Amino acid sequence: MVHFKKNIARLHYITQATPSRSILDQVHTATAGGIQWIQFRSKSATDDAFREEAMTCLALAKRHLCTFVVNDRVDIAKEIGADGVHIGKEDISPRIARELLGPEKIIGCTANTLDDIIHLSGQPIDYIGLGPFRFTSTKEKLSPILGLAGYQQIIKEALNRNISIPVIAIGGIRFEDIGPLFQTGIQGIAVSGLISNSNQPEKDCRELLKQTEVQSCQIP
């Protein structure tokens, strides 16, 4: 499978509604902190509320030249002109999503196992979100925890099969995990609660960017 070559960021921020911070406020913080990839995720919103909030957040992201990907909702991503989608294992198939969005849009998919990655490597997608790294309350139906050893094994086996699609680690990632995770061969990391639950979110965004850039420079 020849994958569509896109510029996949090293650091992804995934929105989540919290009692103290709206999703729009989170996007404000992330973009002000320099993050260049936003995945808009709002699981409990109605269709109309999802569409309206996504459009507002997209406009803000574009002012900061930020890639804006919609979680799950391929129809709304296409309607509002988002840069792409991230789809879960129980969502629309990647092939249908590609037919709907066309070759220029970004499509990411969720994986939890090596078998998932092998299957997805034959799909017309641009990156894989692999996880969870550790327990996270962000995801309601959490798959088995991979841990560092799980990433090491899965990435090694994927490379042995000549699978080169970018892999983004996700799920409860902390600052101290960044270095060890990048050493497994991943392309980048995705965070949510690390920023949305922070007392100094903008500062932490900048620190995350700094650490991911350092790790990227160290990758051969």
In the numeric block, which tokens belong to residue 99?
């037919």
User: Are the beta carbons of 24 and 57 closer than 8 angstroms?
Assistant: yes
Q: Give the pLDDT score at 178.
A: 96
Q: Strands of 163-217 (E only): list them.
A: 167-170, 188-191
Of the candidate ranges 72-86, 93-107, 136-150, the one whose mean pLDDT is the lowest: 136-150
Domains in the chain, please, with CATH? Answer: 11-218 (3.20.20.70)
Q: 2-6, 107-111, 180-184: lowest mean pLDDT where?
A: 2-6
Residue 2: its pLDDT value, please? Answer: 46
pLDDT of residue 138: 63
Calpha distance 158→174 (Å, rounded): 24
| CA–CA separation, 74 and 129 (whole Å) | 17
pLDDT at 177: 97
pLDDT at residue 82 above 60? yes
The whole-angstrom distance between residue 105's C-alpha and the CA centroid of its chain comes to: 15
| pTM value > 0.75 | yes
Torsion of CA 45, 65, 212, 57, to 10 degrees: -10
Tell me the C-alpha distance between 70 and 82, whole Å: 7
How many other C-beta atoms can be found within 10 angstroms of the C-beta atom of residue 38?
A: 28
What does the pLDDT average to over 47-67?
Answer: 97
